[in-house]
Amino acid sequence: MSAREDHLVELVDDGGTVLGETSVAAAHQPPGQLHRAFSVLLIDPAGRVLLQQRASVKTRFPLRWANSCCGHPEPGQSLRTAANRRLLEELGVGPVGLTEVGVHLYYAEDPSTGRVEYEYDHVLCGAFSPDQPVSPDPAEVADLRWVDPEQLSAEIATTPDRYAPWLVGVLDRYLRSGPSHTSGTPAGGGPAEAGVPAGAAGGPVGPSDNAAEPPGGR
């Protein structure tokens, strides 16, 4: 088990209110404990999104294609700070200006490892040029590719088992967000985060963004 499995995450209710904390490993043991997470989508000037194929050593959904970067904020840590930490660790890039475009709550069981994802997932988007250098950690990332989001939607519908189960929700929040998703703010917060509860990125979230999705449905 990697050292990151010992890191603490925030346990939350289905409205995102903090209830406590536990380790990454414990949160993902069956039947799962609802906790705060984030998913980052990097978008190029043509509107393509950067996907990563998760490394074979991942404890959850290895070798599935997923969004650019995923992770969990530590208790009390801002989402943008945590997301930029993971962008650096996974892809060797950053800091990147990020904007929250929505939240989705999902549950999924990994048949290959027996672990569970039960997450209150904040979706963060940021502009990134394909010309910028990346240095992916092979312990985190098996491969990278840029793809048109509409093409990606079609691919997921045709071959869902190739993709991480949360990617449908992440892509949906991005497509619904409109053209302002790459405006971003500098890493570590700034005025946009003032007065926001610990762990929140500060973007507006509507009721439909928090709708629970069926267990294992993605």
pLDDT one-digit tens code per residue, 100-151: 999 999 999 998 899 999 999 999 999 999 999 999 999 999 999 999 999 9
Strand, helix or coil for residue 82: helix
Place of tokens 């609802």: 34
CA dist 64 and 204 (Å) reads 30
Claim: this prediction has a pTM higher than 0.75: yes
52 has which bridge partners?
66, 144
Low-confidence ranges of the chain (pLDDT < 70): 1-2, 179-218
CA dist 212 and 51 (Å) reads 24
- pLDDT score of 140: 94
CA dist 212 and 106 (Å) reads 6
- pLDDT score of 26: 96
- pLDDT score of 179: 57
- pLDDT score of 216: 30
Q: Could you report how far apart the first and last alpha carbons of the chain are, in Å?
A: 26
Looking at residue 18, the DSSP 8-state letter turns out to be E
Q: Catalytic residues, which ones?
A: 70, 119
How do 99-109 and 49-54 pair as beta strands? Answer: unpaired
For residue 108 the two structure tokens come to: 């999924």
